[in-house]
Structure formats: C-alpha cells, structure tokens
Amino acid sequence: MIVRCANGDIAIEDGRFAKTAGGEVIDARGLTMLPGLIDVHVHFNEPGRTDWEGAATGSRALAAGGGTMFFDMPLNSSPCTVGPREFHEKRAALERASITDFALWGGIVPGNRGAMADLAECGVIGFKAFMADSGLTEFPRADDRTLLQGMQEAARLGLPVAVHAETNELIGCCGASVRDYLNSRPVLAEVTAIRRACELAEEAGAKLHIVHVSSGRGVTAALEARQRGVDVTIETCAHYLYFVEEDMERLGAVLKCAPPLRGAGERKGLWRAVSRGDIDIVASDHSPAPPAMKEDPSFFRVWGGVAGVQSTLAVLLEMVPVERAAALTAANPAARFGIANKGRIEVGYDADLVLVDLDARHTVTRENLFQRHGFSPYLGATFRGAIRQTVVRGRTVFLDGKIMAEGGGQFVHAKPRIHA
C-alpha cells in the first residue's frame, strides 16, 4: 500500500511503514498525515460497567478522533485492575471489543503492593494511584505510606507511577451548586499534591506521571521538581485547555471533573506550558457515565467525568502547529511509556496514522459522535480540520464518517526493566 498525501508519501507493508510497497494506492494529496493518537488516559469501564461506555464504543470514538491506541485506567471497570486476575479479565474483554490497539494501567491501592510484580509480568504500562477519594470504594486513595511503597516497587519494576494529584485534606463538601463544587477543590489542593508526589517519587527513585494537570500553577510545581532531577512528566487534558470554570457553571454536569475547570488565568498558564514544551502529553481522561448519573439537585452527587475522547486532536489543531499536536499525542506518549514502534511515521514503525483535511471545519453533533452516550461538552463547537481516515497497523478502521472494522485491536505488552 502507498499513501500519498500533502506532506509526503509513505509505503505500508505487513502493517508497518516501509521503504517500498506495492498494491493499493491511497490518494490523499489534499490531506495531512499525522501519527495516530495514543490516548494515555481513558476510562472505558469494561468489564462491569459497559453501560457507561465499553471498549467497543469507546475505541470507535477514539478512531473517529484520529486515535489508534489507548491506555485504559484501572477504574471504573468492575473489578478494578489491582491484581492479575482482574487484569486478565479486562484484557480478554478489550481484545474482543476494541478496534484500536490498547495498553492497561494497573492500580496502586492499600494492600496490593504484593500484586504489583504480577501485574508487571502481565504487561501493565504502569501503575495509577489516587491521592484523593476516587469516588469508588473498591479503589481507595493511596495514603503517603502506600504511595511511597508503591513507588518503590514500581521503581524496582522499571515502570512509571501515574497520580491523580489533589490533597484530600484540602477538598471540602459544602453546599450544592456548581460554584460550591468549584470552590471545594482549590488550585492549592492540586499544587500541594503535585509537590508531595514529586517528593515521594524523588525518595523512591520512581518515574512519575502527573495526570490531568488543570492549572498553570500545577505545571510550575512539577517543573520545579523536574529542575532538581525528579523524573516527572506532565499531562493535561483537552477540556482544561478549551473550557474555563464559567463554562462549567453554564453547561453543568457535562463538564464536572476532578480537578475542576479553572479560571482564564490558569488556562492561559496551561497554554503557555503547551507552547513552550513544558507539558509532555495531552490526553482526554474520557470518563463517561449514563445520563441519569448526571442528574441530581446537588452537584456534589453528580458523577464526575468528561466525555471527550473524540475531540482531543480537534482542540489542539485550533491552537498549535500540527507538529506540536503530533508530539503531544503520539511521539511523547510512546517515548515516555516505552511503546516501541509506535508514535512516529518512520520505516519499521507500526502503520498507525490519521489523515486530516486541515482546510475543512467540522461541528460536533450527537449524530457524529461514536461514544455510547451522546453527552459531550463539545456539542455545537466547530473546529479546524476534519478526520478523513484512521489506520491501525495498515488496517483502515475509520473512513469518511464511518467505522470500517469490527474488533481487531491488539494488546500492547509493556516491557518492565526490573532492578534488583
């Protein structure tokens, strides 16, 4: 197969980019080719809560947004991925359902340190911990001792630790309104937790990944640790770059997330960090729930989570050059998490790509969303660029608004580097 596009031609042979190839020619000379997105932070909730999303619908939405691989978090599936039995159950479910490739996070919770080596042997991409209440009793937060010991074990196993960084003691619950919720989770809760996580990672010698940083001040806290030698990477999400807290007050439950959206000044700080290269990865933190769980007189009881897996690239293309968007969503994720042969359009790499019409614009509607529930804060928004085709290992999974595959996604096994 030969793909001819605006930014050059590439050959594909046996599912990988090659120097030469024969057969089909895809004439995409009016389109721009980018490496397929690797979304390192999704909650597809399978098994156990596929009525919230599921890998079948979630991976289709990812592909429609230009994604070719996702990393599924250890929650909100049921059971959560905190041991090898749960891992194998999830892997089997996703192999049956997903049209894109995937990796799996393991969890760090009180009492499961002894299972981490088994999870590493299974092939987890790393370990996820919450420094604040996760909202699920089956995935309790990691206190400092649990987190330190988990980081020490992860360091021994040669795998990174991802943390949800909010200081639990600084989170309140007073009132019922959206504004009450915003006030209950201040930027300070994020900043202090990032500093604490960096201190623990430094002590443990661990590789640290801060997920969904919501504020410019949070980025600064992580950069201070990086400057003194802590191996820390920074992830933010498209919704923190696109929306501000007033949008949460206007749109309500569809934008509830933790940490919450911030003011315009903090968002400006995030964009500065993106443009400077201080933020390493942009992910979706796609975390849907049935519409009924988004309805309650108290905003505190509304289930949190933004459904946006299909819109990450669209948000970035509005604001950054295509090369930067590709680094944030493909090259950097592959490099940080040791995913060999993915994330770049180079000979020998998996033929994961997306073809984008940068001259077109598209509007997000319920009809063109592929996730299980048409519940998105981006509804009605118009973005630069239109995804025309998404290819996973040489196989077209999305073409001109239609899903072209059933299953076929492969599990990508991380290779831990165990230290004595």
Q: Given this model, what pLDDT does residue 323 score?
A: 96
Q: Given this model, what pLDDT does residue 6 score?
A: 87
Q: Which residue has the higher pLDDT, 249 or 21?
A: 249
- Domains in the chain, start-ordered, CATH in brackets? 29-403 (3.20.20.140)
pLDDT in tens, 65-82: 999 999 999 999 999 999
pLDDT in tens, 321-377: 999 999 999 999 999 999 999 999 999 999 999 999 999 999 999 999 999 999 999
Q: Given this model, what pLDDT does residue 417 score?
A: 64
Reply yes or no on whether the pLDDT at 420 is more than 60.
no
DSSP conformation class of 327:
I
pLDDT in tens, 86-100: 999 999 999 999 999
Q: Given this model, what pLDDT does residue 416 score?
A: 63
High-pLDDT (> 90) share of the chain, %: 94
Task: Name which of 338, 305, 303 is nearest 44 in CA terms.
Answer: 305
Reply yes or no on whether the pLDDT at 419 is more than 70.
no
Mean pLDDT for 249-255 is: 97
Which contacts of 319-326 are long-range, i.e. CB under 8 A and separated by 24 or more positions?
A: 319/241, 319/271, 319/274, 320/274, 320/275, 322/32, 322/34, 322/356, 322/358, 324/274, 324/275, 325/34, 326/34, 326/35
pLDDT in tens, 193-234: 999 999 999 999 999 999 999 999 999 999 999 999 999 999
Reply yes or no on whether the pLDDT at 310 is more than 90.
yes
List the structure tokens of 24: 């089909």
Residue 299 CA, distance from chain mean position: 25
Task: Name which of 369, 362, 180, 196 is nearest 286 in CA terms.
Answer: 369
